[in-house]
């Protein structure tokens, strides 16, 4: 399943590149920045998709499959960068807390390896969930945007989970 899906995605790249040259994509990552900055943490989930929506509105062909997929893909990339930064920050905190607990002679389960295991399992879950979402399109042209929106949504949600954990730890 993965092999055929990724072959289809790779086959679409020249079309995407041509579409990208045929019409400009007007993605503004500051839409996401502003939403997160002006929203209380409990409501930040509502920011997921805002930059992609603005991109689709600002892009002449934003309602096309290529436009939707590219706009959602750009926002996914923004969330993914935030996710990686949050993960690295949280991992540093967890390693420090694990070291403190070890210095005390504690035998509590270590948090850093648990975080790493959780994140790896989440990646597998996200990919499986989004592959399932794509399957709903029966191989049709909506499968590309479906993948982009699914990974954008789930990556945004996981980013907010890790950021909330950092906030809980005073970071």
- Say if CB 55 and CB 20 are below 8 A apart: no
The reported pLDDT for the residue numbered 23 is 67
Instruction: Give me the phi and psi of 59, to 5 degrees please.
Output: -95, 125
The reported pLDDT for the residue numbered 22 is 62
d(CA 152, CA 95): 28
Low-confidence ranges of the chain (pLDDT < 50): 1-20
Query: Domains in the chain, please, with CATH?
Result: 2-168 (1.20.1270.180)
pLDDT per position as a tens digit, 60-85:
998 999 999 999 999 999 999 999 99
The reported pLDDT for the residue numbered 1 is 41
Count of Cβ atoms closer than 10 Å to residue 54 Cβ: 20
**Of 81, 34, 79, 67, nearest to 145 (Cα)?**
67
Q: Token pair of 119, please?
A: 């994140």
């Amino acid at each position: 399943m993965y092999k055929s899906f990724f072959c289809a995605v790779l086959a679409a790249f020249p079309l995407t590149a041509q579409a990208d040259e045929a019409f400009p994509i007007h993605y503004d990552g500051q839409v996401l920045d502003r939403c997160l900055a002006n929203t209380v943490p409990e409501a930040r989930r509502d920011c997921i998709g805002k930059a992609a929506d603005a991109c689709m509105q600002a892009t002449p062909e934003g309602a096309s499959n290529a436009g939707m997929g590219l706009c959602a893909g750009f926002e996914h990339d923004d969330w993914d960068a935030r996710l990686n930064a949050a993960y690295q920050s949280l991992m540093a905190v967890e390693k420090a807390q694990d070291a403190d607990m070890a210095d005390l002679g504690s035998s509590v389960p270590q948090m850093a390896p648990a975080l790493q295991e959780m994140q790896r399992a989440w990646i597998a879950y996200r990919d499986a969930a989004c592959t399932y979402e794509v399957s709903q399109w029966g191989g049709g042209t909506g499968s590309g945007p479906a993948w982009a929106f699914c990974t954008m949504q789930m990556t945004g949600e996981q980013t907010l989970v890790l950021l909330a954990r950092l906030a809980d730890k005073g970071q």
